[in-house]
Structure 1
Amino acid sequence: MKRVLVTEPLHESGMALLEARPDIEIAIARDITPETLAKAVRDVHGIAVRVARLPAEVLSCAGKLEVVSRHGVGCDRLDMAHLNGRGIPVMIAAGASAATVAEHAMGLLLATARGLVRQDRAIRDGWFNDRLERLAVDLSGATMLIVGFGRIGRKLAPLARAFGMEVIVADIALDAALAREMGCRGVADFRPELPKADMVSLHVPLDETTRDFISGDEFAAMKDGAILINCARGAVVNEAAMIAALDSGKLAGAGLDVFAAEPAPDNHPLFSRTDVVLSPHTAASSGKATKLSSEMTARNILDFFDGAPRQDCIFNPEVLGP
């Protein structure tokens, strides 16, 4: 019998997969505070986690832990050094939400370029002549730089091209042949491309190499009036530098699904601006993606226990050896 802790509710289809197995005992966390989780992880063999943080002080209490399964793909809330040190694999819901995140990024870009938030507020305030004072930015003929050519970047590129945009994709592990096949120009280093891009969309994981990835120097290199889209992680962008770029006009606007601190504080300086479009880290939260992510979260645990983990879902394959 394997005991699995579910830190937050999964979609019923994912729970059904776990419940259907007579060899699986399910435990549900009462809440996701470190104190509660430290007690809840005792005697569990697997953890299914959505947004809860799993620091070393929690994981060290899980003496029988064999596998962690993420309802998503980002693992910055997990103490990977601790898990790697113990040889514990982390499974991710690879590809489950890539299309919906790409669509959300495109939606943020459209809303930002067209000034839809500002226009919505203006017409509700009876200021119909806003339409004559600030002009929208066209996507057709513009250049988009997609930083990160992984699952999401590969979904976003054809959407941008469908709007008539020239697309540059940047990735340190670039699949140049795929980029060419998709009609994009591929590069390994995004920085030399910043002066050429009208729009920059970020799709990289957060780790120590990507923290403050976009900061003062990067904003200074951008084309005047560029638009930034971030559906990756908030800390990939230095928020103070971004606000300075918005204030100076270097950035015409930004579409943000993520923040350096989440939940963002009520007095966050971005909240009062009309040149940004914001969403509360919901880019992956469509009905279809949530259902699929829940099912993959459950299946990844079961497949691991069955000795057949899906290879493209293992975030840290090095812990399993050759």
Structure 2
Amino acid sequence: MKVACSWHATDEELKYLKDALPAGTNVVAPSGEYFSRFECTSNDFRDLVVDADAIIGYTLPRGAIEISEKLKFISFMHSGINELHLDLLKTKGIKVANIRGSNAIAVAEQTMMFMLSLAKLTVLKHNMASNGQQVFPWWEDGTRAAMLHGRTLGVLGVGNVGSRVAKRAKAFDMQVLGVRRDKDAGVEHVDSMYGMDDLHSVLAKSDYVVLAMPLTRDTEQFYGKSEIEAMKPSAFLINVARGTLVAEKPLHEALISGRLRGYAADVWWWYENAMPATCYNGTMSRLGVHKLPNVLCSGDQASNADDVLERNLAYGTQNLVEFFGGQVVKNEVSLDLGY
């Protein structure tokens, strides 16, 4: 068996993989100079993947699937799989697993940081204090902090991340409302669970809304003008899932008009079918959402935290162990659903 790594794996990482996999498994990775060791080009990867039985990695270079003659399995080192050509994989009978849950604690902590920073006007008050300015007058709109205590949090997507956000919100005595595809599946720390049909009623009750759901054909830009209008004007929206869950223009209009109190995101839009076309979060918001005074931003940094890299490798390797061992692959994804 042959496993191809789609990143410039270190000797220690290769040894970890080889030790976990059946004896004799050939584990290969690109070598030589690189721009970032967590990626590789088609030229780096072509000779490695052509006869590989499985791929593990953070990227899938263009054309890799088409030239793979024996490929049966991909262990993709992300929670989301929307970058992959799912229809092609399904046609070729290639199974895919992700590493959902590996970065969930880090992303949940980032979510709480966003909630607190928005509520407490952290950046504004830091900048004022560092410039020697007094906050004046007190208890007025614009200088008065919001509270988490006793407020309602709506979590859209109560999976690995959303459930951990709910748990942490309970430490602030918040009421937690969850929205998920299967509303009958109860989750600890969520007071009430709802289906997507009840979304607007949940938004109307929520002081904070967290997006923690996968990006699929059904959820792309689902959060638009009607969803924003269903929210309280005093509410905050936090997105730690995928930027394109949210329609950019109505969000921008709501933030500059005061219809929405604030927004925070670790994830931003990409513009595949645009002029100019971009990918992932390289240009942030074309409308400048990230520059608004009531917005907090980071660029895909929630998972850039202690413990995550090691956990990524462990989860990704476990996928391979289960697949080659003929076991149920716990993190296998549905190519039809996209998660």
TM-score (norm 1): 0.88
Displacement, 1:35? 5.8
| Cα distance in 2 between the residues matched to 1:263 and 1:42 | 30
Aligned to 1:188: 195
2:52 corresponding residue in structure 1: 44
Aligned equivalent of 2:327, options 290, 305, 308: 308
Q: Report SS of the residue matched to 2:126.
A: helix
Flag the 1:186–1:278 CA change in 2: closer, same or farther, 3 A: same
The number of equivalent residue pairs is 312
Change (3 A) 1:54 1:171: farther
Deviation at 1:85, TM superposition (A): 1.5
Partner of residue 146, structure 1: 155
8 Å Cα contact 1:38/1:59 also seen in 2: no
Residues of 2 paired with 1:216 and 1:73: CA distance? 27
Q: Given the superposition, is the C-alpha separation of residues 10 and 93 from structure 1 closer, same or farther in structure 2, using an over 3 Å criterion?
A: farther
Change (3 A) 1:175 1:281: farther
Letter aligned with residue 262 of structure 2: G
Structure 2: how far apart are the matches of 1:280 and 1:11?
26
Structure 1 range deviating more: 194-203 or 124-133: 124-133
Does residue 160 in structure 1 map to residue 166 in structure 2? Answer: no
What is the Cα-based RMSD across aligned positions, in Å? 2.5
1:264–1:115 CA distance, 2 compared to 1 (3 A): farther
Q: Any unmatched runs of 5+ in structure 1?
A: none
Match of 1:170 among 154, 179, 183: 179
Amino acid aligned to 1:288 = D
- Is 1:236 paired with 2:236? no
Q: Which amino acid aligns with 1:278?
A: C
Give aligned-pair identity as a percent: 25
Contact 2:177 2:190 in 1 (8 A): no
**Cα gap change, 1:267 to 1:196, in 2 (>3 Å):** closer
Alpha carbons of 1:12 and 1:309: their partners in 2 closer, same or farther (altered >3 Å)?
A: farther
Unaligned 5+ segments in structure 2 are 271-279
Shift of 1:12: 7.2
Do residues 270 (structure 1) and 278 (structure 2) align? no
Query: How far apart, in 2, do the equivalents of 1:121 and 1:304 lie?
Result: 52
- How far apart in 2 are the matches of 1:232 and 1:12? 32
- 1:123-182 superposed Cα distances (whole Å, 9 cap, x missing partner): 333333368451111011111100011121111111112101111001121244x24x53
Q: Which has the higher helix share?
A: 1
Distance 2:67 2:45 in 1: 9
Q: Determine which structure has greater relative contact order: mean sequence separation of CA pairs < 8 Å that are 6+ residues apart, divided by chain length.
A: 1
1:210-240 CA-to-partner distances (Å, cap 9, x unmatched) read 0002111111111112100101101111122
